[in-house]
Amino acid sequence: MHKEYLMGNEAIALGAIAAGVNLVCGYPGTPSTEVLETVAKRRPDGTYVEWSVNEKAAMEVAAGAAYTGARALVTMKQMGLNVASDPLMCVEYIGVKGGMVVLVADDPGPISSQTEQDTRHYAAFSKVPCFDPTSPAEAYEMIQEAFAWSEQYQTPVFLRSTTRVSHGYAAIDVKDPEEWAVHEAEGFIKDTNRWVIFPRLSYANHQKIFARNNELAEKFSGYDRNAIYEAPSGSASRKGIATGGISFTYAMEARQALGDVRLLKVATPYPFPEQKALEFLAGLDEVLVIEELDPVIEEALILICGKYHLDTKIYGKLTGNIAVAGENSRDSVKKAMAEFLGAEARTAAVEADNSAAASAASREANSSAAASSKSLPAPPPLPVRPPVLCAGCPHRASFYDVKVAMKGKKTIFCGDIGCYTLGNSMPLDMVDTCLCMGAGLGIAQGVGHIEPDTSCFAFVGDSTFFASAIPEVVNAVYNQADMTLVVLDNSTTAMTGHQPHPGTGQTMMGEVVAKVSIEAVLRGIGLTVVETINPMEHQKAVDTVKRVAAEPGVKAIIFKYPCIAISKPDASMTVDTEKCIGCHRCIHEIGCPALIHDPDPAHVAANGKAKVMIDVSQCTGCTLCSQLCPVGAIRKPGESDENSAEGGADHA
C-alpha cells in the first residue's frame, strides 16, 4: 500500500484497476470524465479502454464484456444515463457473468448539466443495486466491493457518485500494482435460454430479480458501510439524523460541533437496508433526513414507519426542513441540524461559529500586520468572468457567419450541449433552443413542420454528431423535413476535456485509425447538399450559408476548423491606432474576449470613444476581427496596408 493525493474520480479509477477491471468504456460528461481518463493513463497491460460514441453504445459494450465473465466498468454523468437506459433495463433482466459496475456521476446544483437528476431513482426503476460513497476514500474501496457484489448476484450495479465526491480530493491509501487483482474472463458460453431476452425468460427473471433484491436488502443491513453511529451512553436525546453520500460527510462534521446524536449512514439506497433502519429508528421520536437530491432515504424511512406501525416522525425535504433542489453544503447541513436538534445544539453551534470567527479574525489580524510590515497593497477584487467562447474559437466565427447570412429572414437557431451552447451569449445571440444532446435536430424539424415559412437551423458539434445526431438526421430525411444542419467540427470533444471520437482518427488506446467522415455519413443517409467550409473565411462562409439554406429539404454545412486548444495559435493580431476610428464594431458584433477598449487616454477616436486594442495573451490570430473592421485597422504583425481587410465585410 502507498498513499496518493487523489481526486474522487481518480480514486474510483484506481479502485477499479485494483479490482482487476478488464474493460472500461463510457462517454465524457462532467463530473464523470476523469474516471475513464485515469484508467487510460494508469491501466495495466490487457485492460481495454474506449470512449464510445454515446452512453447507449458504452452500456452495450460493457454488457458484452460482462457476458464473457470479464469485469467491466461503464462511465457517464446523470444525463447520459437517460441515453443508456434502454440497454440498462434489458441487461438487468438478462443478468451478467462478470462484475459490471455502472459509474454515474450525479450533478446536484446543477453545476454543469441541463437538469438535476437522482440516479437512486433509476436504481429503483431498473431494479439495479446502488452503492453511494460518501468520500473519495470510500469510493476507492466501494467500487472494489461493488464488483464483488455484482459477480455474486450476477447483476449490474450502480456506483452513484456526486460532484463533491467525484471532484473532491483526499490522501488515500491505495494498493501497489503487485496487490492488484488479476481477473481472467472465462469467455462467452452460448446459451439461448440465458442470453436471449424472450418474453418468457423476462417473466421468469423478473420474479428472480424481485426475490434477489429482497435478499440483498437483508444482506445490505449487514454491510458494514451501512452504519449506525450511536449517541454517547446516557444521552437523553430521542432525535436522530439519517443521511448518505456526501451529505454524510457534512453531517459528521456538524455532529462534532453540535454534540453527539444518533446517526444512520445509508451506503446502499437500493435495495434499502430495512433491518438496519429499524435498528436505528428504535427509541427515536423524530428523525431528520439529509440527502442529495431527492427524498429517497426520507421516503424509505416513512414507508418503514408505516409498515411497522412506528410513531417516529420523519423530517426532510418533504417537510421543508431540507432544500428540495440544489446541492447541500457543510453550512446548510449544520444549520438544518442545529434547528432540528433544538436550542442546546443551536447554542453549541453559535459558540463553535464564534470560536471559528475569533480564530479567523486573529489570523486576519496577524496577516494584516504582516502585510503592513511589508507595505503590500490590498489585493483588488476578483473580476467577474461570465462564461464565454475562447478567443479564436471557431464556433464564434461559425455562428457569426450564419447570423450575417440569415439577417432579415425568419429563422430559428436550435442549439445543443457543448462549448457552442455559449453561442447564446450576447452579442452572438445564436442559440434559440437547447435541450439535450442531439435534440436541436428534432426541435428544428418540429418547428419546420408547423411553421414552414421559418428557416430552421440545427447546430451540433462533431462529437455529439456521432453520439446522438445521426438518427435525428435519418428521421429528418425520411420525413422530408426542410432544415439546415450545421456541424461545428473542431476535431475534438472540447467541453469535457478534448477526448477523441470517431472523427478524430485516434482511439483512447492511442491507436491511429481511419477517420469516420461526417460528410460521407451524411451523404450515406441521403443528403445531396453537404458543403464543408472554413468558418474563418467569413465572406465565403456567408455566401455558402445563403446558398445552402435556400436549397429545399435537409441540407448540411460542416464548419471545419480545429479547436484553439489543440492547434498552435498564429501570431496575435495588432491594431493600427492611427487608422482605428473607435466604431467598436469588432467588439460589439463578435464579442471576442481578446478585443478590449484601449485604456491609453491618448488613443481616443474622433467620436470621443476609446479605440480598440488586442489582448495578446488571449489572441490566437484567427483574423475574424480583421475581416470585420471597416477601415482595415486590424492586421497581423508586419502585414502591409494592401493586405489588410480595408472596408470590412457584411455584418449582422
Assess whether 154 and 13 both reside in one domain: yes
User: What's the number of CA atoms in the CB half-sphere (13 Å) around residue 176?
Assistant: 3
Residue 371 lies in a domain: no
User: Quick one: 214 and 231 in the same domain?
Assistant: no
Q: For the chain, first and last CA: distance in Å?
A: 62
> Per the structure block, which three cell numbers stand in for 383?
473580476
pLDDT value for 499: 86
Write the DSSP string, 214-261.
HHHHHHHHT-TTSEEEPPPTT----EEEEE-THHHHHHHHHHHHH---
Is 110 a member of any domain? yes
Residue 463 to residue 418: CA distance in whole angstroms: 9
Query: Quick one: 216 and 231 in the same domain?
Result: no
Residue with cell 456567408: 542
Question: What is the number of structural domains in the chain?
Answer: 4
pLDDT tens-digit readout, 522-545: 999 999 999 999 999 999 999 999
- Show the cell assigned to 393: 474559437
Question: Is the CB of residue 253 less than 8 Å from the CB of residue 334?
Answer: yes
Query: Is residue 60 situated within a structural domain?
Result: yes
Q: Which of 187, 220, 253 is the last residue of a domain?
A: 220
Mean pLDDT per 10-residue run, the chain (652 residues)?
A: 96 97 92 95 92 88 91 94 92 93 94 89 96 97 97 97 96 96 89 83 93 96 95 79 96 90 96 97 96 96 96 96 94 95 56 50 48 67 82 94 96 88 89 83 88 92 90 90 94 83 87 92 96 96 97 97 85 90 93 92 88 92 93 84 55 66
The whole-number pLDDT of residue 343 equals: 47
What residues have CB less than 8 Å from 267, skipping those under 6 apart?
131, 132, 133, 134, 138, 142, 223, 225, 226, 227, 244
What lies within 8 Å, CB to CB, of 361 at 6+ separation is none
Can you give the pLDDT at residue 551?
96
Check whether residue 189 and residue 42 sit in a common domain: yes
We report the CATH number of the domain holding residue 459 as 3.40.50.970
The strand pair at 574-575 and 634-635 is best described as antiparallel
pLDDT of res. 42: 94
Q: Are 458 and 443 in contact (CB under 8 A)?
A: yes
Residue 382 maps to a domain: no
233 shares a domain with 151:
no
Q: What angle in degrees, to the nearest 10, is found between the helix axes of 538-549 and 394-405?
A: 50
- Cα separation, 34 vs 32, in Å, equals 6
Q: How many residues does the chain have?
A: 652
CA angle, residues 530, 444, 116, in degrees to nearest 5: 120
* Largest Cα span, the chain: 90
Cβ 473 vs Cβ 441: under 8 Å: yes
Residue with cell 437551423: 457
pLDDT value, residue 197:
83
Give me the helix-helix angle, 296-307 and 119-126, nearest 10°. 50
For the CA atoms of 344, 346, 347, 352, the dihedral, rounded to the nearest 10 degrees, stands at: 130
**CA angle 520–525–526, rounded 5-degree value:** 100
In the listed set 205, 220, 235, which residue is the last one of a domain according to the structure? 220
The beta strand positions in 117-211, using DSSP E, are 130-131, 157-162, 169-174
Burial of residue 587 (CB within 10 Å: 0-12, 13-18, 19+) is middle
How many other β-carbons are positioned within 10 Å of the β-carbon of residue 232?
9
pTM confidence score: 0.81
Asked if residue 415 and residue 290 are part of one domain, the reply reads no
- What is the H or E stretch that residue 37 is in? helix 34-42
383: number of CA atoms within 13 Å, CB side? 3
Spatial distance between the Cα atoms of 163 and 104, rounded to a whole number of angstroms: 10
Q: Which residues, in sequence order, are CB contacts of 197 under 8 Å at separation 6+?
A: 90, 93, 94
Domain end position, chosen among 320, 344, 368:
344
Torsion of CA 12, 16, 19, 22, to 10 degrees: 180
What is residue 65's DSSP assignment?
A: H
CA distance 301 to 33: 34
Sorted by sequence, the CB contacts under 8 Å of residue 492 that are 6+ apart come out as 462, 463, 498, 499, 500, 501, 504, 562, 563, 565, 566
Instruction: Report the Cα 309 to chain-centroid distance in Å.
Output: 42
SS3 string of 438-461? CHHHHHHHHHHHHCCCCEEEEEEE
- Residue 236 domain-assigned (yes or no): yes
Residue 26: inside a domain: yes
Distance CA 399, CA 397 (A): 6
In a shared domain, residues 232 and 196: no
- Residues 33 and 174 reside in one and the same domain: yes
Please spell the DSSP secondary structure of 291-348, one letter per residue.
-SSSSHHHHHHHHHHHHTT---EEESTTTTSS-SSS---HHHHHHHHHHHH-HHHHHH
- 352, 406, 18: which is closest to 344 by C-alpha? 352
Q: 262: domain CATH number?
A: 3.40.50.920
CATH of the domain at 643: 3.30.70.20
Q: Are 58 and 163 part of one and the same domain? A: yes
The per-residue pLDDT for 648 is 58
Instruction: For residues 100 and 172, give the distance between their C-alpha atoms in angstroms, rounded to a whole number.
Output: 24
Residue 90 makes CB contacts below 8 A (sequence gap 6+) with 197
485, part of any domain: yes
In whole angstroms, what separates CA 96 from the centre of its chain? 28
Amino acid at 273: P
Residue 264 and residue 202 share a domain: no
CA distance 240 to 289: 9
Where in the sequence is the domain holding 296, given as residue range(s)? 227-344
Q: What is the mean pLDDT of the chain?
A: 89
- The answer as to whether 381 is a domain residue is no
| Residue 325: partners with Cβ closer than 8 Å, 6 or more residues away | 116, 293
Does 152 lie in the same domain as 24? yes
Regarding whether 233 and 202 lie in a shared domain, the answer is no
